[in-house]
Amino acid sequence: MVAPKHILGTFDEALASLRNNVLMMAGLAERTLDRSIKGLLQRDDNLCVTAIADDEEIDQLEKQIDKDGVEVLLRFQPVASDLRRVVSAMKLSPNIERIADQATNIARRARKLNKHPPLPEIELIVPIQAHAMAMFKDSIDAFAREDVDLGRAVVARDKDLDLMNKRASRRLTDRMAEDPKQLRGYLNLIFISRCLERVGDHATNIAEDAVYAAAAEDIRHQTAAVST
Amino acid sequence: MVNLTMRSPDPIVLERRGETIEAATETEQVPLTFQIKDLSVWYGEKQAIESVTMDIPSNAVTSIIGPSGCGKSTFLRCLNRMHELVPRTRMEGKVLLLGKDLYSPDVDPAIVRRRVGMVFQKSNPFPTMSIGENVIIGLRLNGVRDQKFLNERLEKSLRMAALWDEVKDDLHKPGTSLSGGQQQRLCIARALAVEPEVVLMDEPCSALDPIATAKIEELIHELKTQYTIVIVTHNMQQAGRVSDYTAFFYLGKLVEFGPTSKIFTNPSERKTEDYITGRFG
Amino acid sequence: MHTIRANKHIWRKVKNVLVSATTFLSAILVIAPLALVFFHLLINGAGSVNWAFFTQLPKPVGVVGGGMANAIVGSLELLALGSVVGVPIGVLGGVYLAEYGSARANSILRFIADVLNGVPSITWGVVVYGLVVLRFKGFSAYAGGLALGLIMIPLILRTTEEVILLVPNGYREAALALGIARWKTIVHVVMKTASKGIITGILLALARIGGETAPLLFTAFGNRFWNHNLGEPIAALPLQVFTYAISPYDDWHRQAWAGALVLVVGIFCINVLVRILTRERKPAVV
């Protein structure tokens, strides 16, 4: 969307800085998630350690975005689309931060799993993580490009992710009963699957905020009572 | 294209006026004070206002915003026939006040101006009169003689303008001995004394400091329960704070009209958005 | 280098002093005649200003003594008559020019008023002589008053107009916005605000005509006795001064000096009054 520039140049700079921080934070979170999953699937401990360390920077960015957002509200009293963008950015960032936290959790559990021989059921995680990662990437895209349709699509995909998580949990619970010696490993896998499901939830939140920023529509809590 | 449908306010606004309707729909009709149809105004050869159609809801504050020279003040003055005082003005279209055509030949402009009061940008209490005389001058010069009645109306108007406590012991002092903000409230009391139905305000706070401005904005908020208020303002934050409805004028045309909350969070017109976000260049 | 700059500096100082001195001398030259006149009047007239001067009628020709009581009263009566003509027409005319009328007609009227302000006052005397004195076959106070009043009209008209134009438009708008009729706005708001200025204009006009002699020469004509009927000739102070000054009697010369002194002091007082009134005016709205 090519909007004319603000007469106040500092206003444009402040908005751009806020947006860039959000995108940077999202990029870092993506990388962390990617590393932690790779650390799990490729049994690479170094990747896990790096992933855990990156969380620090993401936390700092969340604080920075909040601080910058409040300052833009204070200095420029934005209205209409500007206001929606600022408010959405401030609401997005905690979601990104929690996605990074989930990635950190995955990395920690991966390290535990890597100490033991590999479990074949790890394959169950692959489609779940692909789906969650795609949702996250698309939700950020929807925010960056102010793409309302993409945002809506992401929200719709959350159902599938929940289903996949449920199926995997059931399968892993069955395996726990069949093979009690590997209980800890299967538990860790269940938790990892749930972390990924939560990543999907946060990506949904991001997508909803992106739609609000772009179109002033509040699409939260719209799903009719579909019991999960 | 001019916005013809009246978008009703959000439910919160309806609640404040004591109505119990829950869901606001597009076709909801609210009581209207003014109905303006195809209003056009010329100063000599120059067209100042072009075919404006709009309704002004009752007991609410409507603000008129737009860049300099877009016709806001001219439009405001059409509502109380003050624009006629400028030589060589010409007007077409209709302005209905509670259903009655303000410009029909049998209507006396002085009566219009008693029903539609006005407060100006620069406060102008009459310098040769005391505070008390200033307030009731409108009544006195229209023939009211009963001193008791005048005193009652004096106190009532000053109370409504949130000025009574500050001046009740100084009513004999000259009107110009007050501070800027007090003078403006005195002018508001003066306008209220003739008991209009509408109060028009042409940038009433632009010459005042922030505290005086806040006092007047608070006053406007209280007044709207009894009056319909139309305010022209350069200050968009003020429009956002004070008004229920906002009209955006540009180059003599009405670009958009709607509830303030909508105009300031999600305007329909690109030009409106560009103006209020400060993108006009 | 240093000496050149120093020289320029000295030369600049010299120029400053020269200009200051020249302007100071010019100011002295302006004040000097005024001071001389006043001084002369004082010396020659002060001795003769006594109680008799103010209370007695002129004595018969050749007899020493007497006063100008009838001339002083006569001047006042003529001023009053002149005001009756000049003030209403002048003020209302000024109001018209300021508030009504078209731009074109108004500029013509203004031009005419300015021209009339410059017309020699004796002309007014001649006009009134032709219109009134000849018709009614006699000099009279009415004729004198009319002549003076006609001089006042364009004066008061212009000053009134100017003062009313100075009233900020905001007051008119505020009054009209209250639903007050146009004429009431003008009378109760505009003129009331301009009242000090209008009165000042009237006082200045009175000061001007108080000293007019020429128009009274063949309208009021002068009178050695009390005037009991305004249709009869009447004495006036400047007229009397004129008559006495060109006479061959020393006593009359002495009284003429006194009369001139009284006249100047009177006009001086009016001007002081105007000053007081105008100084009291504070700016209307900050």
**DSSP secondary structure of A155-186:** HHHHHHHHHHHHHHHHHHHHHHHH-GGGHHHH
Q: Which chain B residues have a beta carbon less than 8 Å from that of A7?
A: 278-281
C-alpha pair distances (Å), B239 with each of A37, B65, B185, B234: 52, 8, 19, 8
A80 vs B277: CB contact, 8 Å cut-off? yes
Are C41 and C55 contained in the same domain? no
* Chain C: partners with 3+ C-beta pairs within 8 Å: B
For B93-103, what is each residue's pLDDT tens digit?
A: 999 999 999 99
Residue B10 has pLDDT above 50, yes or no: no
Cβ of C82: how many Cβ atoms within 10 Å? Answer: 26
Confidence of residue B166 (pLDDT cuts 50, 70, 90): very high
Instruction: Kindly report which listed range (A202-211, B141-150, B247-256, C42-51) carries the lowest average pLDDT score.
Output: C42-51
Instruction: Tell me how far apart the alpha carbons of residues B241 and B217 are, in angstroms, rounded to a whole number.
Output: 8
Which pLDDT score is estimated for B26? 43
Q: Does B118 reach chain C within 8 Å, measured CB to CB?
A: yes
Instruction: For residue C203, give its domain range.
Output: 51-280
Q: Three-state SS for C61?
A: coil
For A32-83, what is each residue's pLDDT tens digit?
A: 999 999 999 999 999 999 999 999 999 999 999 999 999 999 999 999 999 9
* Residue bearing the bigger pLDDT, C218 or B131: B131
Kindly state the greatest CA–CA separation across chain B: 57
- Residue whose entry in the numeric block shows the structure tokens 């003050």: B82
Residue C280 has pLDDT above 90, yes or no: no
> Min CA distance, C180 vs chain B (Å)?
6
Q: Three-state SS for C266?
A: helix
Instruction: Tell me how far apart the alpha carbons of residues B47 and B88 are, in angstroms, rounded to a whole number.
Output: 12
Instruction: Tell me how far apart the alpha carbons of residues C210 and C83 are, in angstroms, rounded to a whole number.
Output: 11
Domains defined for chain B, CATH in brackets: 31-126+196-276 (3.40.50.300)
Which pLDDT score is estimated for B79? 95
Instruction: Tell me how far apart the alpha carbons of residues A158 and B40 are, in angstroms, rounded to a whole number.
Output: 55
Q: Hey, which residues 1-60 in chain B have their CB within 8 Å of chain C?
A: none
Report the residue of C104, C106, C176 to disrupt the B interface, i.e. the one with the largest count of B CBs within 10 Å: C176
- Averaged confidence pLDDT in chain A: 92
Instruction: Tell me how far apart the alpha carbons of residues A87 and A15 are, in angstroms, rounded to a whole number.
Output: 11
> Hey, what are C225's tokens?
């006795």
The conformation of residue A123, written as its DSSP 8-state character, comes to: G
Please calculate the CA angle A110-A114-A120 and round it to the nearest 5 degrees: 90
β-pair partners for B117: B199
Domain-located, residue A154: yes
Are C74 and C19 contained in the same domain? no
Q: Does B144 reach chain C within 8 Å, measured CB to CB?
A: no
> Min CA distance, B237 vs chain A (Å)?
8
A4 vs B237: CB contact, 8 Å cut-off? no
Are C43 and C63 contained in the same domain? no
Q: What CATH code is carried by the domain that includes residue A55?
A: 1.20.58.220
C168 vs B124: CB contact, 8 Å cut-off? yes
Kindly state the greatest CA–CA separation across chain C: 88
Q: What is the mean pLDDT of residues A214-221?
A: 90
Share of chain A above pLDDT 90, in %: 83
Are C40 and C59 contained in the same domain? no
Count structural domains, chain C: 2
- Touch test C–B: 3 Cβ pairs or more under 8 Å: yes
Which pLDDT score is estimated for B23? 39
Which pLDDT score is estimated for B47? 94
Q: Which chain C residues have a beta carbon less than 8 Å from that of B114?
A: 178-179
For A99-118, what is each residue's pLDDT tens digit?
A: 999 999 999 999 999 999 88
Burial of B130 (0-12, 13-18, 19+ CB in 10 A): middle
Domain-located, residue A2: no
Which pLDDT score is estimated for A224? 53
Domain-located, residue C226: yes
Instruction: Kindly report which listed range (A59-68, A186-195, A207-216, C220-229) carries the lowest average pLDDT score.
Output: C220-229
Helix axes A125-145, A9-41, angle to 10 degrees: 170
Residue C103 has pLDDT above 90, yes or no: no
Q: Which chain B residues have a beta carbon less than 8 Å from that of A218?
A: none
Instruction: Identify the CA nearest to C195 among candidates C91, C107, C45.
Output: C91
C284 vs B127: CB contact, 8 Å cut-off? yes
Are C118 and C163 contained in the same domain? yes
Instruction: Tell me how far apart the alpha carbons of residues B73 and B65 are, in angstroms, rounded to a whole number.
Output: 10
For B124, which of C188, C192, C285 is closest by C-beta distance? C285
Share of chain C above pLDDT 70, in %: 97
Are C135 and C42 contained in the same domain? no
Burial of C169 (0-12, 13-18, 19+ CB in 10 A): exposed
Q: Which chain C residues have a beta carbon less than 8 Å from that of B191?
A: 177-178
In sequence order, which ranges of chain C are alpha helices (DSSP H)?
A: 2-45, 51-55, 69-99, 103-118, 121-128, 134-136, 141-166, 169-177, 182-184, 192-210, 214-217, 237-245, 250-280
The conformation of residue B130, written as its DSSP 8-state character, comes to: B
Domain-located, residue C286: no
> Min CA distance, B140 vs chain C (Å)?
10
For C179, which of B113, B125, B180 is closest by C-beta distance? B113
SS (H, E, C) C246-264: CCCCHHHHHHHHHHHHHHH
> Hey, what are C134's tokens?
């000849």
Domain-located, residue C65: yes
A79 vs B281: CB contact, 8 Å cut-off? no
Q: What is the mean pLDDT of residues C45-70?
A: 80
Q: What is the mean pLDDT of residues B217-224?
A: 93
Are C165 and C23 contained in the same domain? no
Domain-located, residue C61: yes
C189 vs B117: CB contact, 8 Å cut-off? no
Domain-located, residue A227: no
Which pLDDT score is estimated for C285? 40
A80 vs B264: CB contact, 8 Å cut-off? yes
For A126-156, what is each residue's pLDDT tens digit?
A: 999 999 999 999 999 999 999 999 999 999 9
HSE, side-chain direction, 13 A CA sphere, residue A135: 32
Which pLDDT score is estimated for B106? 92
Q: What is the mean pLDDT of residues B168-173?
A: 92
DSSP H or E stretch at residue A187: helix A183-215
Domain-located, residue A123: yes
Domain-located, residue C76: yes
Q: What CATH code is carried by the domain that includes residue C124?
A: 1.10.3720.10
Instruction: Tell me how far apart the alpha carbons of residues A30 and A129 are, in angstroms, rounded to a whole number.
Output: 12
Are C194 and C73 contained in the same domain? yes
Instruction: For residue A32, give its domain range.
Output: 9-215
Are C56 and C175 contained in the same domain? yes
Count structural domains, chain A: 1
Domain-located, residue A223: no
> Min CA distance, A7 vs chain B (Å)?
5
Domain-located, residue A224: no
Q: Which chain C residues have a beta carbon less than 8 Å from that of B113?
A: 176-179
B277 vs A4: CB contact, 8 Å cut-off? no
Q: Does B80 reach chain C within 8 Å, measured CB to CB?
A: yes
Residue B189 has pLDDT above 60, yes or no: yes
The conformation of residue B272, written as its DSSP 8-state character, comes to: H
Q: Three-state SS for C102?
A: coil
Are C212 and C233 contained in the same domain? yes
* Chain A: partners with 3+ C-beta pairs within 8 Å: B
- Averaged confidence pLDDT in chain C: 88
- CB burial of C245-260 (b: ≥16 within 10 Å; e: otherwise) equals eeeeeebbbbbbbbbb
C131, C222 Cβ separation under 8 angstroms: no
Domain-located, residue A114: yes
Domain-located, residue C17: yes
For A77, which of B237, B266, B267 is closest by C-beta distance? B237
- Residue whose entry in the numeric block shows the structure tokens 């007991």: B59
> Hey, what are C113's tokens?
């008023």
Instruction: Tell me how far apart the alpha carbons of residues A85 and A88 are, in angstroms, rounded to a whole number.
Output: 5
Question: Complex ipTM above 0.90?
Answer: no
Residue B14 has pLDDT above 50, yes or no: no
Q: What is the mean pLDDT of residues C80-104?
A: 92
- Residue whose entry in the numeric block shows the structure tokens 């905001």: C170
- Averaged confidence pLDDT in chain B: 88
For C141-172, what is each residue's pLDDT tens digit?
A: 999 999 999 999 999 999 999 999 999 999 99
Helix axes A80-114, A45-76, angle to 10 degrees: 160
Are C37 and C143 contained in the same domain? no
* Chain B: partners with 3+ C-beta pairs within 8 Å: A, C
Share of chain B above pLDDT 90, in %: 81
Domain-located, residue A221: no
Domain-located, residue C155: yes
Are C88 and C13 contained in the same domain? no
For C113-149, what is each residue's pLDDT tens digit?
A: 999 999 999 999 999 999 999 998 889 999 999 999 9
Please calculate the CA angle B36-B223-B115 and round it to the nearest 5 degrees: 45
Which pLDDT score is estimated for C282? 53
Domain-located, residue C285: no
Confidence of residue B11 (pLDDT cuts 50, 70, 90): very low
Which pLDDT score is estimated for A141? 96
